[in-house]
Amino acid sequence: MTNPHSFPSERSVTCEPFHPRGDSRQLSDSSSPTSAELTDCLFFSPEDGRIWLNDQRMVLLHSASFGALRAEIIERLGLEQARGLFTRAGYACGARDARLIRERWPQADAAAVFRAGTHLHTLEGMTKVEPLHFKFDADSGFYEGEFLWHHSCEADEHVATYGTGQDPVCWTETGYAMGFVSGLFGQMVIFREVECRGMGHRCCRVIGKTCEQWGDVEQDLSYLNVSQTVTRPAAAPLPDSPVSCGAQGGQQQPLIGASAAFNAATQALQRVALTSATVLISGESGVGKEMFARQLHQLSGRHDRPFIALNCAAIPDNLIEAELFGVERGAYTGATQSRPGRFERAQGGTLFLDEITCLSLAGQSKLLRALQEREIERVGGVRGIKVDVRVVAATNIDLRKAVADGSFREDLFYRLNVYPIALPPLRERRDDIPLLINAFLTRFCREYARTPAGLTMRALKVLLRYDYAGNVRELQNLIERGLIASDEGQAIDLVHLFRNEAMPTDPYGLDDQGGLSTTDLRPAHPDKPSALLETLGQLDQGFSIDGLESRLINEALLQSAGNLAAAARLLGLSRAQFAYRLKKHQRHRPQRSQAS
C-alpha cells in the first residue's frame, strides 16, 4: 500500500525497495535531499516542549546521561545483552529515518536518498559521518559501502567509562546504519566497525554489505533479535521488523491515535465495552465523543442492534421528552399520530446522549427514572414500556460543577458516572497529529478525487504546534479546507489552511549557522521590492499599476467564483470599495471583453 502524502501512518509503510541502483561517485552535492533540506525538517516547539524531525518527536539527551544509562545497562545485563539492546535501539532510529526520507522525497535520486542517512545521523548528533564510497543495485541484491565516523558520541562515552578495549563499541550507530540502509534497500545490510575510537583508532571505519556478501552474519543478526536467538541469513528478520511500533497490522482502526493519553482512553473504552455499564464521556467540543461512543457500541455485545444518538442541545426543552420517550396520538396539539422515542428506537442497542447538561431538570428526572426502572412511558401514554438500552452520556462541561450550582441532579450524576472516560484535547495528544493529518488527507483525497503533493514543511510545522481550540474537528476542517484551496498536485501551504484568519506565530527551526531562528511564514513568493518588480516586468503586456489592479480584481473574482464580498475580502477591501474598482475597470475594458 503506497500513499501519496508526505507522511503516511506507520501502518501504511512497506519496505519494498524503489531505488534500484546508485553509486556515490555519481552524486552531486545539490541532489535532493540536501543537508540543508534535511536540517529544515528539524524544528523546535519550546512552548509545548516538543522537538520534531519532520513528523517524528525527538528529544535532546545529554551525551553524558546517555553514557551513564548505557553503563548501567551494561552492568545489569552484561556486555552482549546490552550490545543487542543498543543495536536494536539504533536500528529503530535508522529505520524511522529511512521512512522519513522515502516518504518526503519519493522521487529523489537513489544515491542521494542513501546519502541522506549520513546527513541525518550527523544532524542528530551521534557522529559525523564521512562517506568514502557506496554502491548498490537492488535488482541483483548488491550493496557495498565504506564510511568514517568522526568523534562518535557512543565511543567517547564508552571510553570515558571503560577506557579503550579490544572490540568496537559504537553499537547504536552501527544499528542505525543497518536500520537506515536495510530500510531503504529492502533486504538486510549488515554494518561492521573494522576500526573504532573505542579500540584506540583516530576515528571509526565501518563497512556495510548484504548478509550474502558477508557470509558469516549469525552474530551480527543475533544483536537484532530480541530473543537473542541466532537466525540463519536466509531467515533474516525483515528490515522493518524491529520497529513495528505497535502498528495494528491490517486491523480496522477507526479511532486514530498512538499517544499515551489517547491509549489510556481507548483502553478504558475496550474494558467497559463488553459490560452493560452506563458510560459517561467527558471532553471538550470536537474531541470525538460521538466517535468514541460509536466505537464502544461496535465493541459491545449490542453491536448488531441500533446505535441512536441525540444531542440534547439541539432539541428545544418542550420537545425533548417526546423525542426521548415518544408520544401517543393526541397527547398534545399536533400529535396526530403515535411515534416511538429514541429510547424505544435504541431497543437492545445503545443510546448516546450528547451535551447531557442541556437537559431540563424535568427531563433529567424522567431520564433518571428510565435508567432506574428500565421502563419508559410515552408522552400522553398510560402504560410503561420495558426498554433494554445502554446509555452513554457525554458532556463538555464539568458535571460536578453543574451539580454544585444546582443545574444538574446529583442522583442522575451518580447514575451516569458509573464508568467515566475523559477524552484528552488535541493539544494534549500532539503526537497523534501526524497520524490524524494523514488519515484526513487520505480520506478527503478519496472524497474529492485528488492527489495532492502533501503539506509544505512550514504548514506541517504550524499544524504540529497549533492550539486547536476546536480539537480534532478543527484539524479535520483545516485539512479539508487546505485541500480544497490548493490546486491539484500542489502542496498544501499555510495560505490554504488559514485563508482569512490570522496566521499562527512562527515556530523555531535551525538557521544556516545551526542556531534557533523563526521560520518565514509568508507566502512562498519573494516579496522584496526588487523581486516584485522583476516579477511584474515579466507580465505579458508590460506592467502598469492600472493593469495590475485590473488583474488582481479578475483573479480575486475567479478565486471567489464571482462572489463580490469574498473577492473583496481577498484583497483586503470592503465590498463597496471593491465594487467601485470593478466598475472602473469594466468601463476601461477593451470592446472584446465587454461583449463576452
Applying CB under 5 A, the residues found at the interface with Zn ion are 152, 155, 170, 193, 196, 204
Residue 150 vs 401, nearer CB to Zn ion: 150
Nearer to Zn ion, 115 or 205 (CB): 205
- Cell reading at 462: 504550524
Tell me which residue of 49, 40, 45 sits closest to 6, measured CA to CA. Answer: 40
Minimum distance, C-beta of residue 174 to Zn ion, in the bound complex (Å)? 8
The kind and range of the H/E element at 136 are strand 128-137
Which residue's CB is nearer to Zn ion, number 118 or number 152? 152
Give me the least distance between CB of 495 and Zn ion, in Å please.
47
Placement of cell 471567489 in the chain: 560
- The CB-of-172 to Zn ion minimum distance in angstroms stands at 10
Joined together, the cell numbers standing for residue 485 give: 484551496
Nearer to Zn ion, 166 or 530 (CB): 166
Closer of 202 and 588 to Zn ion (Cβ): 202
What SS3 class is residue 572?
A: coil
CB of 113 to Zn ion, least distance (A): 25
Question: By C-beta, is 220 or 377 nearer to Zn ion?
Answer: 220
**For Zn ion, which is the closer residue by CB, 206 or 351?**
206
The C-alpha cell that represents 76 in the structure block = 545489569
Q: Measured between alpha carbons, how far is residue 162 from residues 67, 150, 154, 201, 351 in Å? A: 11, 19, 12, 15, 65
CB of 75 to Zn ion, least distance (A): 21
Residue among 44, 36, 83 at smallest CA distance from 60: 44
Angle of helix 153-162 versus helix 63-77 axis, rounded to 10: 60
- Which C-beta is closer to Zn ion: that of 204 or that of 346? 204
Residue 522, phi then psi, degrees to nearest 5: -70, 160
Bridge partners of residue 22, in order along the sequence: 136
What is the distance between the alpha carbons of residues 409 and 387, in angstroms, rounded to a whole number? 22
Q: In the bound complex, what is the minimum distance in angstroms from residue 197's beta carbon to Zn ion?
A: 5
Instruction: Report the nearest approach of Zn ion to the CB of residue 198 (Å).
Output: 5
The smaller minimum CB distance to Zn ion, of residues 152 and 456, is found at: 152
**CB closer to Zn ion out of 172 and 259:** 172
- The rounded distance, in Å, linking the Cα atoms of 366 and 524 is 59
C-alpha atoms less than 13 angstroms from C-alpha of 329 in its C-beta half-sphere:
3
Min CB(205)–Zn ion separation in Å: 9
60/51 Cα distance (integer angstroms):
8
What is the smallest separation between the CB atom of 79 and Zn ion, expressed in angstroms? Answer: 15
- CA pair distance 509, 52, nearest whole angstrom: 10
Angle between helices 171-185 and 79-104 (to 10 degrees): 40
Q: 164 or 253, CB closer to Zn ion?
A: 164
Integer-rounded Cα Rg, in Å, for the chain is 31
CA 569, chain centre distance (Å): 32
Give the length of the chain.
Answer: 596
**CB under 8 Å to 545, separation ≥6 — which residues?**
none
Nearest approach, Cβ of residue 220 and Zn ion (Å): 15
In the block, which residue shows the cell 443510546?
A: 351
CB of 89 vs Zn ion, minimal distance in Å: 16
Cβ 195 to Zn ion, closest distance in Å? 8
**Cα→Cα distances 473→260, 288, 405, Å:** 20, 8, 30
Contact 543, 552 (CB under 8 A): no
Least distance (Å) between residue 240 CB and Zn ion: 25
Strand partners, 142: 137
Report the residue number, 167 or 488, with the smaller CB distance to Zn ion.
Answer: 167
d(CA 284, CA 174): 46
C-alpha cell at 277: 455499564
Q: Whose Cβ is closer to Zn ion: residue 19's or residue 197's?
A: 197
Under the phi-then-psi rule, with left for phi > 0, alpha for psi from -120 to 50, and beta for the rest, what region is 355? left
